[in-house]
Structure 1
């Protein structure tokens, strides 16, 4: 790998514009919460390639990149693609929205064009949504060679998937549980000639307890003659163990040194709100960003559903996505959002990883995440591919300690989003009516559709009396 040059980046970015006073003196404004430390160091390759052709990608695939709007390689693409084309195993550490999908899809397609083969490549993903999104990228970039791609995920009928496997696709994109089901039960299906294995979002794969299933899959797959790529946002001890078990003398490519680093084009702020007025402040912020696309993150499935109903009652174009929706409903919600027939997505953390949604202007953490890593993945939905974006986190009187921990992990103190209390409280009557309507609709949902019982479906009892998801349902994040 070529030598890397280090440069220092300035953290400070302010959201200019409004000359308004904050509702109250925030307990988060103490100047000595974080002492001034060292500037973050980001590693950058000097004179980065400006075209995919410079990376060694052949003309037809360069044209496919151009047709999809890929103007120049992202850092992870510029670092990893040349090494992949040399035939090396890779570990890629990259933040969400860095362009890592194309970083492994392009070398696979180029190898496939040079030597066509059925059942050539396998890509493993932690969730159903991510598997479908990767397959879309494979088919779009591989349209020049009419690449055939099969998707194997839980929650869907195995018979159509088995039929698709019988047609001998070039690329399989799968979640681990369903892939193992087919390896064990689908007659005639074998990956003994597999040339490429990709494990995308490996940290997430292991967070979902796919470890034992991955062990079984790796024992079945051939080791000789196979190239393996492992991509992850973080490098935990579990991921280290996985790479030792599956990769051969790999090279590590990291485009960000700090696992809690955010991109420089992201403007982050917090809004200190009384817990009982969170809905009011949400509507106020959305009114100030009218016409923008946004994702609103909640901590629970019920809250995602309730907020979505509340927003629709108030005339906003919103759609929910969470782990208790059927696979069809989740895909339909994503398609509406991508097609811009809805401009707001209300999500539990099922959407914090892997959603391929371009040009999201705003992320709102209506409920704070429980850890800094989840915060990074949430706010990574905006300010992607060099574009600017905003992330606003609601901090109630009960969240102060948690928020300070998140700021500590980021290594900087974020600005407070300015909101005028009087302007917010004007919304009280209208929002109150909508809250009552949403509560009635939620009650009907629970009574008519049995949502309270939905959390127990497709589960089995584990040791100690807890519940454990079966293999078929492991790729369905319950939010």
Structure 2
């Protein structure tokens, strides 16, 4: 994980955890001004992370930046500090635009910008789907300094919100650029690049340098400096990784067994579909476990609510699709469970990156069924190591079978009820729409 071209001294850590006394780099030494250094102290950022040591001086020197860094490496600080410093030097509304792939990540970046800029009065606006367009239009009319947006909703505003334009923009950041492009936002990104000034600073941050990202770099950056703190796909050293090989029909029982075995920890459980996320959450609740689901079909308010319950430790288990695998900084995740194996090996890196963050230890357990062997082998090939088997006592696991089967049955009934409720609601909405259409036609006729 050595940083490329690392010209700065930093603290090295021995195997026993003691620090070799090498001079510690401070934010001030990187060229960050005092008022922002104080903001870093208030956020308890004692020393810059590797990506911050590499990227901040390059950005402050006025260069475009391509930052390649593993998840949880402090990327937000690496682009937020240079932008805020430039904003202080020449204050201007609609100064910076940060594009992100997911709504949750947008809110998180906004929180960090506001926390860093609290003493200098920075105003941010989050522009994402799932929230009323009119409310966002009013926020944009106030001309915030920084807009954090998902590409689709930003294009909606550029095309439909009167008086909103980004013609004076000075900074563009594409965070998790590989994921933005994997989610097929290419057209939206092209539209955005056409309506913002060519004369601007651009920072492109990505965990992986894919062909699409390289193409985007050629289209939008001018003589960029590449900073890299992860030369290959890696997982954090303090992360204990295991796999468990089980028949697919016993997955739920083994999940409950592991949650009982490791009780007292906080868990993130990753499922591949929204439906399975909901089903597992309902099943665990029926067993008296405090679980909340997080998936793309939930409303934005519910998604933020679930995330806040988990962050505030009101719930100890968050069950999520890959909507939560990238960028979300939830400091206290102790264990990540890949209940459904990811279909893209790189997503494994991002999922397990939710734990063992900022130097802490963590544990990751991946469920492998008879249908997942090839996908699992790809993951081992990608991370360059074979994982140990997680030891379980089969007899103890099977003692839970009866209770789990009953919880599954109740979860199935609740899922069916939820589905019927949605269908009824949809039918009612369609009826309302139809009758309002008839009323409009009737009114038109009466006018003549």
- TM-score in same-fold range (> 0.5): yes
Q: 2:212 aligns with which of 211, 214, 238?
A: 238
Find out whether 1:202 has 2:177 as its counterpart.
yes
Asked whether 1:355 is paired with 2:317, we answer no
Partners of 2:8 and 2:149 lie apart in 1 by 37
| CA positional deviation for 1:51 | 1.9
How many angstroms apart in 2 are the aligned matches of 1:66 and 1:453? 51
Equivalent in the alignment of 1:188: 163
Aligned equivalents of 1:403, 1:254: Cα separation in 2: 27
Q: Which has the higher contact order (CA 8 A, sep 6+)?
A: 1
Q: Does structure 2 retain, via aligned residues, the 8 Å contact 1:372–1:409?
A: yes
> 2:425 and 2:391 mapped to 1: Cα distance?
38
In 1, Cα distance between equivalents of 2:181 and 2:278: 28
List per-residue Cα deviations over 1:145-189 (Å, max 9, x = no partner): 111001111222111111111111111111112112222222222
Q: Which moved more, 1:394-403 or 1:304-313?
A: 394-403
Structure 1 position 444 matched with structure 2 position 417: yes
Tell me the equivalent position of 2:148.
Answer: 173
Instruction: State the Cα deviation string for residues 209-264 of structure 1 (Å, max 9, x = none).
Output: 1111111111110012x111000011111101111111100000110001x21111
Local SS of the residue matching 2:252: helix
Determine the C-alpha separation between the residues in 2 that align with 1:169 and 1:365. Answer: 39
Partner of 1:425: 398
- Aligned to 1:79, which of 41, 47, 54? 54
Any idea what SS the aligned residue of 2:356 has?
A: coil
Partner of 1:25: none
Structure 1 residue runs of 4 or more that deviate by more than 4 Å after TM superposition: 39-46, 451-454
Name 2:437's counterpart in structure 1: none
Distance 1:427 1:314 in 2: 11
Taking the TM superposition and a 5 Å limit, the aligned residue runs for 1:35-184 are 47-48=9-10, 49-184=24-159
Q: What secondary structure is seen at the aligned counterpart in 2 of 1:282?
A: helix
Match of 1:15 in 2: none
* Conserved 8 A contact 2:269-2:317: yes
Deviation, structure 1 residue 45: 5.3
SS at match of 1:444: helix
**TM-score normalised according to structure 2 size:** 0.89
Contact preservation (8 Å) 1:90, 1:230? yes
C-alpha distance in 2 between matches for 1:46 and 1:167: 41
| Counterpart Cα distance in 2 of 1:242 and 1:92 | 13
Contact 1:445 1:451 survives alignment (8 Å): no
For residues 238 and 323 of structure 2, what CA distance do their matches in structure 1 show? 25
Question: Rg bigger for which structure?
Answer: 2
Q: Deviations over 1:420-453 (max 9, x none)?
A: 1111112112212211111111111111123999
1:223 to 186, 190, 198: 198
Query: Separation in 2 of the partners of 1:319 and 1:383?
Result: 21
- Give the equivalent residue in structure 1 for 2:20: none
In the TM superposition, 1:401-420 aligns within 5 A as: 401-420=374-393
| Post-superposition offset of 1:272 | 1.1
> Equivalents in 2 of 1:89, 1:211: separation in Å?
20
More helix, by proportion:
2
Distance (Å, rounded) in 1 between the aligned partners of 2:301 and 2:179: 23
- Provide the secondary structure at the position in 1 that maps to 2:117: helix
Give the superposition deviation at 1:41: 10
Which consecutive residues of structure 1, in runs of 5 or more, have no partner in the other structure?
1-38, 458-479
* Cα RMSD, aligned residues only: 2.0
Distance 1:453 1:414 in 2: 47
